[in-house]
Amino acid sequence: MRYKDDVDRSSTSFQYFDRNLGQTWWRAFLDFSDASDGDTTHINFTRPFYALDTRWSAGTTFFDDEREESFYDLGNEVAEYKAETDRHSAFWGWSAGLRQGWVTRWTTGIVYDDREFSAVPNGQLPSLVPDDRRLVYPFLGYELLEDDFDKASNRDQIERTEDFFMGARITARLGWASESFGSDR
What's residue 94's pLDDT? 99
Residue 125 has pLDDT above 70, yes or no: no
Which of 45, 38, 90, 29 minimizes the C-alpha distance to 65?
Answer: 38
pLDDT digits (tens, 9 = 90+) for 51-102: 999 999 999 999 999 998 887 788 887 778 899 999 999 999 999 999 999 9
pLDDT digits (tens, 9 = 90+) for 16-61: 999 999 999 999 999 999 998 899 999 999 999 999 999 999 999 9
What's residue 40's pLDDT? 96
What's residue 123's pLDDT? 62
Residue 8 has pLDDT above 80, yes or no: no
What's residue 31's pLDDT? 97
What's residue 93's pLDDT? 99
**DSSP secondary structure letter of residue 154:** S
Backbone φ, ψ for residue 22 (5° rounding): 60, 35
Task: Return d(Cα 18, Cα 45) in angstroms, integer.
Answer: 10
SS3 181: helix
What's residue 124's pLDDT? 64
Residues 6+ apart with CB under 8 A from 170: 142, 143, 144
pLDDT digits (tens, 9 = 90+) for 146-159: 999 898 887 787 87
**DSSP secondary structure letter of residue 20:** S
What's residue 136's pLDDT? 98
Q: Is 145 exposed, middle or buried (0-12, 13-18, 19+ CB in 10 A)?
A: buried
What's residue 126's pLDDT? 57
Q: Is 112 exposed, middle or buried (0-12, 13-18, 19+ CB in 10 A)?
A: middle
